[in-house]
Structure formats: structure tokens, C-alpha cells
Amino acid sequence: MARVLHNLLVFSIRLALKIRVLGYWSLIYGYCALCTIVALLKLWWNIVLRPTTTFQWAIRETPPACLNDTSLGTHCYVRIKESGLRFHYVAAGGRGKPLMLFLHGFPEFWFSWRYQLREFKSEFRVVAIDMRGYGESDLPLTTESYRFEYLVTDIKDIVEYLGYNRCCLVGHDWGGTIAWLFAIHYPEMVTKLIVLNCPHPSVFSDYALRHPSQLLKSSHFFFFQLPRFPELMLSINDFKALKALFTSRSTGIGRKGRWLTAEDMEAYLYALSQPGALTGALNYYRNVFSSLPLSQNNVRSPVLLLWGERDAFLEQEMAEACRLYIRNHFRLNIISGASHWLQQDQPDIVNTLIWTFLKEGEGRKSYRN
């Protein structure tokens, strides 16, 4: 009798797990279908309104002058032996100084850290990289090449190539996700972790499944699972959707923020209009659902989480919930009126808060190798 009950319990648990997995993927594919229908309606409406210009967009052939601004640093390249990929990065500050490594988000590249490169080069070796698939870094063709483990290993390899065994790691958006994961898997290599507008990955997955409002704000995660069609929708009308991300009232930099100049916008369009660039950026999303939930969660480095109050994509409640996974000092700063594009929107406030965090506890000397 006991054996029968045991077998029945095991069967029930396995069945419940299978139903849960089925429900999880049904939700994903169902929401993908809904987002596709909405996108097709938008495309149809664009064709009605602009029949001659909808399918016109231009590849920017020449980089704008701001990308060669010497005050931001020196353009460098590194080829990682293990992966065979070449990475582009911009570096400033003395080589003997402690390393501060910046990881950008979507749809950005190293240029999103221009205000921080100028600010922190006095005390740090500052390095802003183009992550794989972005900017002048190599663009792997397969979707599987953008799995979490490869993205995290990229950061480890780059830190070691630069001659360091640890760094102060700063990440925004997708760069924030990779920064969280790197701190989880390589805690000995992160002296301090600074994340901008990106929750801990486990907080995001748990919260989104329980809050339909966050699922709605994350609809692009589902739409981007489709092959090719998202690239088309981001390209039509000469990349109008990409421009709107940074400039529209709903998702763009706030009225009190530091708006992108026309040249800044051209820098983004130069990077993202290149052949294959959008596919590389979108491939980050195309692996996210198969990579969650995480097997490890705890962060043992001191953490500063900066959050723009007006983030159009992420609900603020997730910021405080990150505390659950941090086994060290945790500081959270909500910046009033700031958008998702925090380090560009409010660079002076962001830089001041980072300096304050860096001076806490052990002091700057602890950063030296």
C-alpha cells in the first residue's frame, strides 16, 4: 500500500510539472500570436498611410563625428581565443587604474555610456564594450550563440584579456541582466555591481508571471521571438520605431532629461542600420525563455540599483524585490522623472550616485588588483 501511494505521489508531481511547463509555453506562444496580430495591423495601417515610404530605410554608410570623439576614449579590439569572436570596445583612463566595465542594453551600443566614460576615467580604467552582435563586435549567426552562458563567458574573457582578475561592473537593461548573471557565477571577479533599470532575472520572471500589467509592458519579449518580422517592423519608415524608443512621450527620455541630439540619434542609426545588426540585438530575446528559471540566484557583491521612475517597460516594484537575492550591502535609488534610458537621461545624478556608492565601505583602494 505504501509503495502504491509513493508511486501515485511521484506520478502526481510529474504530471503537475508537465502541466506547469505546458502552461508556461502555451502562455508564451499564445502571447506571441497576439503580438503578431497587433504588429500586422500596425504594418497594414502604415502601408495605408504611407504607401510609398513604409518599406524605405537607409543603411548609414558613414559614422557621425561623435563616435570618434577622442574625449570618450580610444577604440580598441580584442579577439577571444576560446570563442573566436572579435569584440570592439572604447577605453579611457590609465591602464594601472582599477577596471570599470560597462555593459549596454537594447537597442544600444558602447556610445550609451559616453557620459560615464568621461566622468570616471579620472579614477578608473573605463571600458565600454559592444556586446556580441552589436556595433563593431562580431555577429554570430545562430540564435543559440546568444544563450546566457555564452554572454556571461564573454565578459569573463574580456576582463581577463584586459589584464584584470576583477572589476567594478556596470550594466543597463540587457547589460544589466548579464551583469547580474556574471556576479552570480563569478562573484570573486566583481568588486561592486551597479545595475541601471534592470531587475534581477529571477525577480523579473516571477513578477511578470504574477502581474499581467508587467506582461503587457514586456510584450516586446514575446513579439521578438518571431523570426525576421520584428526586424522588418523596426526598420520600416527609416527605423521610425527605433527613433520613437528614445524620443516618444511614452518610452523616450523625459522632459527634464538630457535629450538625444540629432547627431546622437544618427550614431544609433549608424550602428543598428548595418546588415544583420537588428538580428544580433534581437537574438538576446530569442533565448530568454529557455534560460529561465535560473539554477543559481544569490549575488554576493555589494549592489547599487538605480531605477528611473518613469520606466515604460519595467514596473518599479521589482526594484525593491531584488533585495531577496543579495547577500551583501544593497542600495536602491529611485530617480524621480527619469526614463528607462537612465544614464543618458540623467547623467549627472547617475554619476553622483555611483561615486557615492564607490566611496562606501572599503573605499576605492579595494578596487586595485
| Residues marked as catalytic | 173, 285, 340
Least Cα distance to 333 among 195, 162, 190 occurs for: 195
Gyration radius from the chain CA atoms:
21
With contact defined as beta carbons under 8 Å apart, do 24 and 222 qualify? no
Pairwise CA distance, residues 311 & 341, whole Å: 8
CA dihedral 198, 201, 207, 211 (to 10 degrees): 70
Least Cα distance to 346 among 116, 127, 175 occurs for: 116
Pairwise CA distance, residues 225 & 27, whole Å: 13
What single DSSP character describes residue 314? S
What single DSSP character describes residue 76? E
Torsional class of 334: left (φ above 0), alpha (ψ -120 to 50), beta (otherwise):
beta
Give SS3 for 339. Answer: coil
With contact defined as beta carbons under 8 Å apart, do 315 and 84 qualify? no
Angle subtended by helix axes 174-185 and 148-161, to nearest 10: 80
Pairwise CA distance, residues 63 & 54, whole Å: 24
With contact defined as beta carbons under 8 Å apart, do 295 and 309 qualify? no
Give SS3 for 326. Answer: strand
Give SS3 for 277. Answer: helix
Pairwise CA distance, residues 336 & 340, whole Å: 12
Least Cα distance to 86 among 77, 95, 94 occurs for: 77
Cα-based distances in Å from 53 to 7, 159, 236, 244, 274: 64, 45, 8, 17, 19
